[in-house]
Amino acid sequence: MESVVVGLTMRDLTPADLAWCGWSGSALHVEAIARELRRAERGEADYLAACPPSDLPVGLCGVDYRAREGAGVLWQLTVLPALRSRGVGTLLIRSAEARVLARGLGRAELSVEEDNPRARRLYERLGYVAYGSEPDGWDELAPDGSVRRYETVCTLMRKELASPGAMSPGG
């Protein structure tokens, strides 16, 4: 089997991208992303897109600067299913962490559903540490087109970020 290496760029997601984001969830989910883009315009959040040379988003990640004091909270992290486990999520998280640092914040936080061990392993590999859990929920489209409430329990995770001018030990 041959492999092809394709470079990705990280940029802000735009309203024009929404037409290409259906892979990330239902129409209800894409509407939620549109609302978050309006928050990004007000400076309350960032919404990142990982894009190959086509410039179409294949990975998404929001960063909320108002959810927890002193932290940027990463959320709605998702990667096109065919590209999972290829480093796209890692690039998104690192880019989100850079945005958090650029805001002068020293901590990134996120939550992961307790029944998603694959994502939790990624976050732990990137230095996130669990510190609690809480119930969470959101509206989703049912197969019949109705809106229903999805309820879950999420593990809360955090990572202390090095300040931009900090030196590593021995450096």
As a whole number of angstroms, the distance between CA 116 and CA 155 comes to: 10
Give the type of residue at 84.
R
For the chain, the average pLDDT equals 91
Model confidence pTM above 0.75: yes
Average pLDDT over residues 20-38: 93
Q: How many domains does the chain have?
A: 1
Is a pLDDT exceeding 70 seen at residue 167? no
Give a yes or no: residue 130 inside a domain.
yes
CATH number at residue 57: 3.40.630.30
Structural contact between residues 76 and 62, judged by C-beta atoms closer than 8 angstroms: yes
> Residue 169 falls within a domain, yes or no?
no
pLDDT tens for 81-97 read: 999 989 999 999 999 99
* Rg (the chain; Cα; Å): 16
**What distance, in Å, lies between the first and last C-alpha atoms of the chain?**
41
Please give the full DSSP string across 140-170, using - where no structure is assigned: EE-TTS-EEEEEEEEEEEEEEPPPTT---TT
pLDDT digits (tens, 9 = 90+) for 62-74: 999 999 999 999 9
Asked if residue 166 is part of any domain, the answer here is no
**DSSP conformation letters of the chain:** --------EEEE--GGGGGG-GGGS-HHHHHHHHHHHHHHHTTSEEEEEEE-TT---SEEEEEESSSSTTEEEEEEEEE-GGGTTTTHHHHHHHHHHHHHHHTT--EEEEEEETT-HHHHHHHHHTT-EEEEEEEEEEEEE-TTS-EEEEEEEEEEEEEEPPPTT---TT-
Q: Which pLDDT score is estimated for 141? A: 86
